[in-house]
Structure 1
């Protein structure tokens, strides 16, 4: 099985310091949805892993999160793409759970659900914690210079990146790499 694991906020859609709390605030990054469709058309299954501490902080509820994801699914469908599953951590940082990235719990759930070894599967995110979580279970790390990492364009990369991290301008650039390798 070809499985590609993507972070959500800052990788697929715009991130916000005030949290993305509603479908109206969920806005795809330029070309991101088409990039997912391109990945799908190359035979890859795409899943999303996302920390959603806004739930644990009481900033929005599960029905608002489901509505955001319904919007993402609808917009993806319109461009011929799909996300097979979304794995999210609802906890606040102080909950010290095993599923909040950089902990590997969400990735372990993916491996269990799909019955696959994630070794070598690409994981894409806009922060060190996204990539640390994936590499803990053997994923190949890919940093996109959007969201939290947009400020690193043309500068030194953030400290703590896992060894072997590949860097891409954005999700469309990653999709180009993945499809053409």
Structure 2
């Protein structure tokens, strides 16, 4: 299933079992930005990697007891340092969006790529994360032309009332201005 465009060349590749094949009729056409920190509000831990690889130790933190059995993943995670880890090939269906819908089309995991930023809704993201997100987004957009300006959203946009990330701390104006000045204006 993996082709050269399935894997981001600048990412550290980490295998997750928490993904499957997209439906044959699904075309990758949505980019979803999320945030995550494990334990909540703590950075520079192995929690995210452990969760996405099924190795989260429920005794390591009281919060982990609640989530240790979850089977979730994202295509990529961007840590506070700007380091990118890829858990799922882009052509695969990562389990990041849950119950979701975009413009009347349900099951966003079927047609979306999910990027997690290590962070919270209320704490500013780092310069390194914005730089890494820009580079990763440019790569994804170059490989998947159905993802257009209007099809880059937050988790909160596809699961309103259920999810709030990437939250008010995420600077959408900055991200879009930086990204779209380098994009083909017809997209």
The alignment's TM-score, normalised by the length of structure 2, stands at 0.34
The alignment's TM-score, normalised by the length of structure 1, stands at 0.35
